[in-house]
Amino acid sequence: MSTDPDLLCFSHLRWDFVYQRPQHLLSRFAQAGTRRVFFFEEPIVSPNGQSRPTLDISVVQGGVYRVVPRIGADRVGVELVDTLRGLLDDLVNEASIHDCVAWYYTPMALGFSRHLRPLATIYDCMDELSAFRGAPPDLLEREQELFERADLVFTGGPSLYESKRSRHPSVHLFPSSVDARHFGQARQPQVEPADQAAIPRPRLGFFGVLDERLDIDLLAQLADLRPDWQLVLIGPTVKIDPADLPRRPTIHYLGTRHYTELPAYLAGWDVALLPFARNEATRFISPTKTPEYLAAGCPVVSTSIRDVVRMYGSSGLVRIADDAPAFARAVEAALHEDRIARLQQADRVLGQMSWDRTWSDMNRLVEATLRDGSVGLTARPALVAS
């Protein structure tokens, strides 16, 4: 039986897209068993013109309630915002959400949720969304509004923290964490996934979203420079034309794979890659896959992403290179490094980076915020007309 205020999360990411920070944290909030957790996604738009707006509600990982609005393509502008606000009100009323904590991954959700009167507002800033391709033009304005409303701001890496800490009095750094036990399965002998088994070795692997952050020129040049190496890429292609991805006999695109399947693939990689472009979209990223690669026992080579260099490159745990010849030399060195020494060093670092610990620390801050601002709040309605 829930005893704490419900958690109502607004996300630009879909629950079943890529299993990452939101899923790790919110499933732990749900598994704690003291509050219900609702994950409100961006709408799915019907291409068939007018249709009655609906909410699809299902129970996913850890007992999280996934909430997916479905609307017609005829709903645009003010009408779209009004429709989403109405669907949100339906959820609040039908699920009897009397008190809640509002948790935002996207400031754009304020457009239809600013009439809520949550007991606390959390902004978990995991990316600099304004730098991503196709970002809404008013995103920065909405983010400023969210800073003004938020009780707590969490950031997903040191660069984001430095960028945001002057904009709010309570900004907290929570870098990417890792489920070391899950990815540690890759250190044990595995049955090769069928689509990877026939690929020769050595294999250089990457999993994640294939989008504007990926340095596709580097991949092509690396494949041309070392045709004896195989490049394996796992993940969905988003915001870029799949035809723009480099095509070589030694580059293998395996598509999206479930989070539970990843250790089996990692077990068959000789080196794991972070081949990110250096552009505005990657300026503040702190890739979750870095500690996941290390937990899996893979040597790692990355381009000079600032947070990767600061957190892993300066200690030599991740090799750093940017152009294709330097990247090839780094991979060659990684293929011949002392595995035992690397695993020991990785485990010392990863021992302080569990998602359980991150969730626990976040939860303490949320609970303290609720306690500090609790006077008179229990009688305050969850919804107030805008």
Q: Which of 367, 341, 258 is nearest to 17 (CA)?
A: 258
Fold of the domain spanning 6-177+354-372: Rossmann fold (3.40.50)
Q: What percent of the chain has a predicted confidence (pLDDT) above 70?
A: 95
d(CA 185, CA 276): 26
What residue has token string 């007309």?
385
| Mean pLDDT across 219-244 | 97
Confidence of residue 383 (pLDDT cuts 50, 70, 90): very low
pLDDT of 265: 98
Residue 376 has pLDDT above 70, yes or no: no
Residue 2 has pLDDT above 60, yes or no: no
Per-residue pLDDT reduced to its tens digit, 300-352: 999 999 999 999 999 999 999 999 999 999 999 999 999 999 999 999 999 98
Which residues make up the CATH 3.40.50.2000 domain(s) of the chain?
Answer: 6-177+354-372, 180-350
Query: Domain spanning 180-350: which superfamily?
Result: Glycogen Phosphorylase B; (3.40.50.2000)
d(CA 327, CA 320): 8
Q: Which of 186, 210, 183 is nearest to 196 (CA)?
A: 186
**Ranges 145-159, 175-189, 227-241, 371-385: which has the least confidence:** 371-385
Residue 52 has pLDDT above 90, yes or no: no
Q: Which of 385, 288, 352, 379 is nearest to 98 (CA)?
A: 379
